[in-house]
Amino acid sequence: MFIESVKTPGIAHLSYVIGNEGKACVIDPQLDTDTYLSIAGKHNCRITHIVETHRNEDFISGALALSNRTQAPVYHGEHADETVQYASIARDNDSFEVGKWLLKVVATPGHTKDSISLACYDTNQSKTTPIGVFTGDTLFVNDVGRTDFYPDEKEHMASELYESLQKLIALGDQVIVYPAHGAGSVCGGGMADREFTTIGFEKQYNPLLSVQQKPEFIRQKVTEHHYISPYFSEMERANVTGVDSPVSDMVIQPLHEQRVPQWLAESDKPGLLIDVRAHAAFRDSHIPGSLNLPGDLLSAYGGWLLDYQQPIAIVAEDKESARASAKQLWRMGFCNLSGYLTDVPFPLTREQQHQHSIDTVTADVVEKRLSEFKEKDWVLLDVRKRDEVESMAFPGALHTYLGHLKQYKDKFSADTHYTCMCGSGKRATVAASYLKMLGCTHVDVFTGSLQAWEAHQ
């Protein structure tokens, strides 16, 4: 009688396999179907049910792919407008038996209209007192789901979420909460850096769950600010029809340095180089025109800055990290991968060197520039999130969220000198690489950014 969670790095997504007596149910699978087959198999269980807690907007659902491989049906909550084509409808109070587990659907609209939770009972002991609940994007550890996906219905959705949360609270203090995201997700801002909790604990400490009055709850939710990445709409489209990935995540082969210029130049479909090496290595030397997106930043900002049509090649320290990055892209639907390379050519002249590297500047230099420079000549570009800026503004900086650089690309001028900053210098390097791609020639990075500023004062 097991519950195992699978954490997908980058998007901090949590999917689950719950099983007993030879049967298993997978909740919110990613495209990596082998992972779920392997967990179920380890417990000698056959996957008999697949459930989606809602139509995911931040990754391609693996439900259809898993269903094709296992013949298990997919269940999905009800939605008046758009019916998920590969799923049966799971309505409030419907239930599934998975061995001695009983999973009961609790309709919990609010984050989306089709959101459901699954209360989970160990029928050896009780069919009325649940031991756990899979809350999807409705309730997280220390946060609740965002309710801004229907711009015209923000109040309504917040109201729905309030009612849904009351239903979860009513399940009892003893219930363990299994949410669909952990800290680091774009699906909620205040998640704790801890991935397990109970209804009893959240009731007391979750800032929004402890709001007693519905109007106050609605007021707080409608004034929240979240970003909506442009790739969300792509994911939503994909997750209505369903995707059984046409390519395997494993196939990424070396692409050799000599072939890169030709590859980049192919006129009808010029390629994009994504450099997933560490920020420091990128700043020291990179292929001109490449975009730095290391580690989790690839998942966090790839959906904002990349293009589904453009062929992509990866620059990585080694093949393992190239492969991991390819997998992140694959989960977001970017399948047009030409290969990877692990060597970066060096510049031959001082002029080229400028194109191959990005300078860093320290806090004292930024301080001096702020006191000396005037408008047009120099811009200190702060690419943090709005929430971060609101809680700690940086006087003198121009704020443009990193995710918005593509949208506002026409606003950047090739002649302006930009110093990019963020909280630590990491996103600033991504921003600097993007500005360079746009043709800005005078770009540097405020090393340490806000952390350095504070230490320097």
Residues 97-126 that bind a second copy (CB under 8 A): 122, 124-126
Q: Quick one: 57 or 249, whose CB is closer to a second copy?
A: 249
Asked if 292 is part of the footprint of a second copy (rule: CB under 8 A), the reply reads: no
Both tokens of residue 132? Answer: 């756990």
Asked if 452 is part of the footprint of a second copy (rule: CB under 8 A), the reply reads: yes
- Spatial CA neighbour of 448 closest among 274, 276, 277, 280: 280
Contacts 24+ apart (CB under 8 A), 44-50: 45/19, 45/20, 45/21, 45/99, 46/22, 46/70, 47/17, 47/72, 48/23, 48/24, 48/72, 48/98, 49/23, 49/24, 49/25, 49/73, 49/75, 49/96, 49/98, 49/103, 50/25, 50/26, 50/74, 50/75
- Residues between 237 and 266 that touch a second copy (CB under 8 A): 248, 250-251, 253-256
CA 211 to chain CA mean position, Å: 27
CB of 323 to a second copy, least distance (A): 8
Q: Quick one: 218 or 397, whose CB is closer to a second copy?
A: 397
Both tokens of residue 155? Answer: 């109040």
Asked if 425 is part of the footprint of a second copy (rule: CB under 8 A), the reply reads: yes
Instruction: Kindly give, in sequence order, each residue whose CB lies less than 8 Å from that of residue 41, ignoring residues fewer than 6 positions away.
Output: none
Pairing mode of beta strands 116-122, 132-136: antiparallel
Mark the segment that binds a second copy (CB under 8 A) among 279-287, 379-387, 406-414, 430-438.
279-287
> Exactly one of 32, 57, 195, 382 binds a second copy (CB under 8 A); which one?
195
> Exactly one of 353, 407, 413, 441 binds a second copy (CB under 8 A); which one?
353
In single-letter form, the type of residue at position 118 comes to: L
- Residues between 9 and 48 that touch a second copy (CB under 8 A): 20, 22, 34, 37, 40-42, 44-47
Asked if 170 is part of the footprint of a second copy (rule: CB under 8 A), the reply reads: no
Q: Quick one: 323 or 406, whose CB is closer to a second copy?
A: 323
CB of 111 to a second copy, least distance (A): 23
Terminus-to-terminus CA distance in the chain, angstroms? 56
Asked whether the CA dihedral 52, 15, 191, 397 is positive or negative, the reply is: negative
CB of 117 to a second copy, least distance (A): 17
CB of 194 to a second copy, least distance (A): 4
Q: How many residues touch a second copy (CB under 8 A)? A: 86
> Exactly one of 346, 371, 372, 395 binds a second copy (CB under 8 A); which one?
346
Q: Quick one: 142 or 419, whose CB is closer to a second copy?
A: 142
Q: Quick one: 131 or 235, whose CB is closer to a second copy?
A: 131
Mark the segment that binds a second copy (CB under 8 A) among 189-197, 375-383, 385-393, 412-420.
189-197
- Crossing angle between the packed helical segments 296-305 and 426-438, to the nearest 10 degrees: 30
CB of 406 to a second copy, least distance (A): 26
- Residues between 44 and 103 that touch a second copy (CB under 8 A): 44-47, 69-70
CA–CA dist 162, 215 (Å, integer)? 9
- Spatial CA neighbour of 334 closest among 267, 275, 246, 242: 246
- Residues between 394 and 423 that touch a second copy (CB under 8 A): none
Q: Quick one: 54 or 277, whose CB is closer to a second copy?
A: 277
CB of 446 to a second copy, least distance (A): 9
Q: Quick one: 228 or 370, whose CB is closer to a second copy?
A: 370
Q: Quick one: 170 or 251, whose CB is closer to a second copy?
A: 251
Does residue 264 contact residue 402 with C-beta atoms inside 8 Å? no
> Exactly one of 220, 245, 355, 362 binds a second copy (CB under 8 A); which one?
362
Q: Quick one: 150 or 196, whose CB is closer to a second copy?
A: 196
> Exactly one of 109, 302, 339, 403 binds a second copy (CB under 8 A); which one?
339
Q: Quick one: 116 or 287, whose CB is closer to a second copy?
A: 287
> Exactly one of 88, 95, 166, 204 binds a second copy (CB under 8 A); which one?
204
CA–CA dist 27, 15 (Å, integer)? 6
